[in-house]
Structure 1
Amino acid sequence: MTAPGVAPRLAGVGTAVPDTTYTQRELLDLLDVTDPRVRSVFLNSAIERRGLTLPERAPDGSQAVESQGDLLRKHTRQGIELGRRAVENCLKDTDADLADVRYLCCVTSTGFLTPGFSALLIKELGIDVSCSRLDVVGMGCNAGLNALNAVDGWARAHPGELALLVCVEVCSAAYVLDGTMRSAVVNSLFGDGAAAVAVTTAEAREGGEARPPEPALLRFSSRIIPEAVDAMRYDWDDAQGKFSFWLDPQIPYVVGAHAPGALERLLRGTGLLPSDIAHWVVHSGGKKVVDSVRVNLGLSRHDVRHTTGVLRDHGNLSSGSFLFSYQRLAAEGTARPGDVGVLMTMGPGSTIEMALARW
């Protein structure tokens, strides 16, 4: 549970995806995939289109092979571009300027950089050099809420000042094209994208009915599943000479089974029941994991409409997925003052992260 005091609120949100997007069928053709099992994984993913940064064809027309160095350079180059656009869109939504940013927390799991994206974006955007910063690297899809917890703490300790959380995931920089089913599952699922959210304890802006209410962050909870510590991994593949992501086929069911316990922990002592939750912002982890979470928590398809919509339009965007869903909820304008919502992410560890918010 977060410390008492004035609750920080989500004051604005912005996202960015690559200009190059592909349908699943276009990707199968582009990647020369003929294996019917792999094609089935792509076409039954509940994903229609994703933004990806793929290499040009080799001179002989074959699919170019990217080295680990190529992938890291892509992660850096595209990450800075997507992160910049997400920050600019977020500040526009917040009615704030770059000069207002006093804390920058950047999250990524699709590459390793030193210095990290926080330093690179401060230089790229011209943010004041006295801006405090934090990089959260390698935690995976759940990391957006881990980082939001840290940003919440900073905002509480610096009343009235503006903090930004930026999730930058160039998932195409973590792809291995080796024809295996292990890689096919990953390659069928993830998309490139960045998302930024502004957090502050400053008074909400005057916006009348045209301005939707901004949710305050009340508390956070974590639930790690140690027996599933190896179920989601990003580690070195000796055969390919690259880092490679791996997903255990059972992970959707493991996460779903532990979701009720995570929710019980979040609501403990609040007097709230699961039926009191009006809005759900759930990580777009994949069709099976979303369905498993929905069934185990007793949610309707309407409850996860933005989660499945983001999955359909962008794929799994790793740590930033939940902010894409939150952006759709905010734009929808259905949240009313007093409504309670839950933000939920899942990822390696295996871990379920939750946050409780009130509009």
Structure 2
Amino acid sequence: MTTSIASAEALSALTELTEITRFAGVGTAVSATSYSQPELLEILGIRDPKIRSLFLNSAIDRRFLALPPEGRDGTRVAEAQGDLLEKHKKIAVDMGCRALEACLKSAGATLSDIRHLCCVTSTGFLTPGLSALIIRELGIDPHCSRADIVGMGCNAGLNALNVVAGWSAAHPGELAVVLCSEACSAAYALDGTMRTAVVNSLFGDGSAALAVVSGDGRVPGPRVLKFASYIIIDAVDAMRYDWDRDQDRFSFFLDPQIPYVVGAHAEIVVDKLLSGTGLRRSDIGHWLVHSGGKKVIDAIVVNLGLSRHDVRHTTGVLREYGNLSSGSFLFSYERLTDEGVTRPGDYGVLMTMGPGSTIETALVQW
């Protein structure tokens, strides 16, 4: 891969503006039990042919979930909102702790090295937040700086990275961690409607942690060069998590047209991301896209002119875990790291999509 002298100069100017944040390590974790899509159809007693087709044609093989308990008749019992909040707290903290410990091991660091912890979740509301609960659970230094990003949805991992990259640049040499912990099992409704079936066929439990540090050129991971965002104002209500009066609980809604809406706007934000760098899309060697669903991934591939190989990790994560919400792109990054194919100088684009409707991107270089 080559770039022009002009592009090299543009990127050099970009990176000289501030301390550069680099990825130092990554770790992931999931909940205890996984199910295949056919198993879930039988467990949940789903007979509607349209809903069965939704599950079986999702490009998902298995997902990790904490299903509702069985009633006296053996069917799964819908959980009250209070029970779901307790489930979220238990699972999100457990997965989050394990993902964080795996991340630190990857970075060659320990709990005592953490100076800032930013936690992301959209599958439940906690006060005190997930960051405080994890600091207590793991015995992290109580002086640790922290932040919680709640309710931004599947795009929020990159929103958090943007904020933490700024903190990192202002604190060179100090370790910061972005932790996305999504207990999607705590956001399910069992009402037999197509609205909830779309959600129930797609999401899975998972946590992912990314350690970052600036001012240390010895860190082997990619450096963060730039972020770009785009809110599709006309589709603000296309993805939402709001109160369902009939169910007396919160419920997700995904507009059937959202894959095409997101795909149609992907070029706008990627062009914004690459603007001023001298780079073209063909200069990007690695694409780490949120595993939002089969149709979403297909729409991104078509509109950005990507190959199936470009999104192999995105589709692999979807196949083995389903949509993991905010941490999905970090599961893909972990796979890319394990693959060992990146080379110094390679460029990568990270992309997440979620409520707003929003597309978030970041440009990185190894």
TM interval, short-chain normalised:
over 0.9
How far 1:3 sits from its partner (Å)?
A: 8.9
SS in 2 for 1:223: strand
* AA of the residue aligned to 2:336: L
Decide whether the 8 Å contact of 2:44 with 2:76 is kept in 1.
yes
Question: Are positions 1:41 and 2:48 aligned together?
Answer: no
How far 1:205 sits from its partner (Å)?
A: 4.6
**Structure 1 segments of 4 or more deviating over 2 A?**
1-4, 202-206
How far 1:60 sits from its partner (Å)?
A: 2.7
* AA of the residue aligned to 2:202: L
* AA of the residue aligned to 1:295: V
After superposition, the C-alpha distances for 1:192-238 in whole angstroms (9 at most, x for unaligned) are 000000010152558xxxxxx41000010000000000000100000
| Counterpart pick for 1:349 among 341, 348, 356 | 356
Question: Are positions 1:56 and 2:69 aligned together?
Answer: yes
Question: Are positions 1:335 and 2:304 aligned together?
Answer: no
SS in 2 for 1:135: strand
How far 1:263 sits from its partner (Å)?
A: 0.4
| Counterpart pick for 1:111 among 109, 112, 124 | 124
* AA of the residue aligned to 2:213: T
| Counterpart pick for 2:23 among 10, 13, 22 | 10
After superposition, the C-alpha distances for 1:29-78 in whole angstroms (9 at most, x for unaligned) are 01010101000000000000000011231133121221000100000001
How far 1:319 sits from its partner (Å)?
A: 0.2
RMSD, matched Cα: 1.2
- Distance in 2, matches of 1:356 and 1:115, equals 33
SS in 1 for 2:143: coil
* AA of the residue aligned to 1:203: D
SS in 2 for 1:278: strand
| Counterpart pick for 1:358 among 333, 358, 365 | 365
Decide whether the 8 Å contact of 2:20 with 2:215 is kept in 1.
no
- Distance in 2, matches of 1:263 and 1:184, equals 32
- Distance in 2, matches of 1:76 and 1:175, equals 15
SS in 2 for 1:249: coil
Over 3 Å counting, the alpha-carbon distance change for 1:86 and 1:39 in structure 2 is: same
Number of residues paired by the alignment?
353
Question: Are positions 1:259 and 2:259 aligned together?
Answer: no
Question: Are positions 1:70 and 2:95 aligned together?
Answer: no
Over 3 Å counting, the alpha-carbon distance change for 1:338 and 1:250 in structure 2 is: same
SS in 2 for 1:184: helix
Between the two proteins, what is the percent identity of the paired residues? 67
TM-score normalized with structure 2 length: 0.95
After superposition, the C-alpha distances for 1:278-302 in whole angstroms (9 at most, x for unaligned) are 0000000000000000100000000
TM-score normalized with structure 1 length: 0.97
- Distance in 2, matches of 1:18 and 1:95, equals 25
Unaligned runs of 5+ in 2: 1-13
- Distance in 2, matches of 1:266 and 1:52, equals 35
- Distance in 2, matches of 1:220 and 1:111, equals 27
* 2:98 alignment counterpart: 85
Question: Are positions 1:99 and 2:112 aligned together?
Answer: yes
Over 3 Å counting, the alpha-carbon distance change for 1:238 and 1:3 in structure 2 is: farther
Over 3 Å counting, the alpha-carbon distance change for 1:129 and 1:160 in structure 2 is: same
Over 3 Å counting, the alpha-carbon distance change for 1:214 and 1:77 in structure 2 is: same
- Distance in 2, matches of 1:177 and 1:56, equals 12
After superposition, the C-alpha distances for 1:119-142 in whole angstroms (9 at most, x for unaligned) are 000000100000000000000000
* 2:252 alignment counterpart: 245
| Counterpart pick for 1:289 among 290, 296, 299 | 296
Decide whether the 8 Å contact of 1:307 with 1:322 is kept in 2.
yes
Decide whether the 8 Å contact of 1:11 with 1:204 is kept in 2.
no
* AA of the residue aligned to 2:296: V
Decide whether the 8 Å contact of 1:15 with 1:194 is kept in 2.
yes
* 2:224 alignment counterpart: 217
* AA of the residue aligned to 2:130: F
